[in-house]
Structure 1
């Protein structure tokens, strides 16, 4: 009878860690507005934070060995999930570097145009204003709907109601929710921390109402799960 197969390369990501997992909107980053670049940056930062939380929940980091001393997979941790999470982190960090380069280039071009037209030097205040909350963000298309909300749950405390359509759940949106898997990942990685949830709610008097809610996933609230609500994909 043969011996079990050793996994000497178990630390390697499950997918290649090339230059980028998503080549910055297929190379269209230079065509995005500054507001869109900032939104992408915030989404990447939030997802990286959530993925780091996933590793923390397993008690590991990017360098923790996943094999025993004799080279076999450890049985006390979910090796497959950890490898997948590490691979995603590597890809997102590469994406983040490229995105920051695009933002820096955008800023240089913006201030260069100011100097050309007004012959003034950009001040720290001007740069801060560009990075501030005054930047208009376009509404994302809804990708999920709240089906039910449990009384006294974190979802109810945040203000979620049945029928609410979700446009953004932290860094999760219509383009990346992956059948709501990313919502579960975001919740798991942000237990005890506020998640910004952007919703659209039907209002009999004014049509639809756009709201931004702060939802804090937590245990021991008296029911099952970290949210206390049921969400369905649209």
Structure 2
């Protein structure tokens, strides 16, 4: 007898997204709020599917055959292949969504700049325009300011993070080139840290927002962080970040 699907821990339980219907994926037709929702949905499904691969003990690049060319009998090869294909589709969809988000944000700020330039040239007040929807405006403004996407949970004494000035409770606005739009559930931070370790290391600018000691208001800080292994503890940073 076969194993019931409900008891098969390797079967993905995530919903199928737009790429499953066969129609071409077109993120350009989505509004800014819809693009943000789609970004989150894709990242959640990718995370769930990654867990499926982990349950098999494989990655996107792991071989599915034995050393002598036979199919491995310790994994569900069909399930792994289907999961990988789905993840490739989702990764492509994610790239399209991010391109549309970036394009929309640039267009929004270009429109604002043009309106300000026109007002300055005319020497009068800015022309009256129909305000953008509140959600779209808040998304664009957040991109300019750098919406925090991670929180510093732990900082080890004398670690690179400690020496850079990071403190428990700091909210990360940007980490090198990683920001709220592209951090990929903090995966990009790990990539940036690895790329800047050892002989290739250089200071990384980390922008954080920190609560004032008075308890009222916050302060933005640009910190210089150098990842390295020789500080006497685990990891290259000596701190733990959690996504928001």
Normalized against structure 1, the TM-score is what? Answer: 0.45
Highest Rg: 1 or 2? 2
Higher relative contact order (CA 8 A, sep 6+): 1
Normalized against structure 2, the TM-score is what? Answer: 0.44
